[in-house]
Amino acid sequence: MISSVVSWIWIGSGVLLIISVLLHSPKGDGMGGLAASGGSMFSSARSAEQTLNRISWTLLTIFLALAVVLSAGWLQS
């Protein structure tokens, strides 16, 4: 019972992680931006972007932690 609930939370966090990564705005010109002046690479992110970064990192942490718990079989009695 508990492992199925954790599995659903793991799947939900994975889907939300994909959505949050896709919501990020593209930064820079890709590999072509490395040859240009690096001043734009170190500009500070806006408040919305910082919040989205925190959400993405939190979802990643939850996703990886649950993946370890589920793969180790710690919830099966």
Per-residue pLDDT of the chain (77 residues; tens, 9 = 90+): 899 999 999 999 999 999 999 998 887 655 555 555 555 544 555 788 899 999 999 999 999 999 999 999 998 86
Whole-number pLDDT of residue 24:
87
8, two tokens: 């659903």
Confirm whether pTM is higher than 0.85: no
At residue 56, the pLDDT reads 96
Q: For the chain, where are the alpha helices, taking DSSP H only?
A: 2-23, 32-35, 47-72
Residue 38's pLDDT is: 52
Residue 46's nearest CA partner among 17, 24, 29 is 24
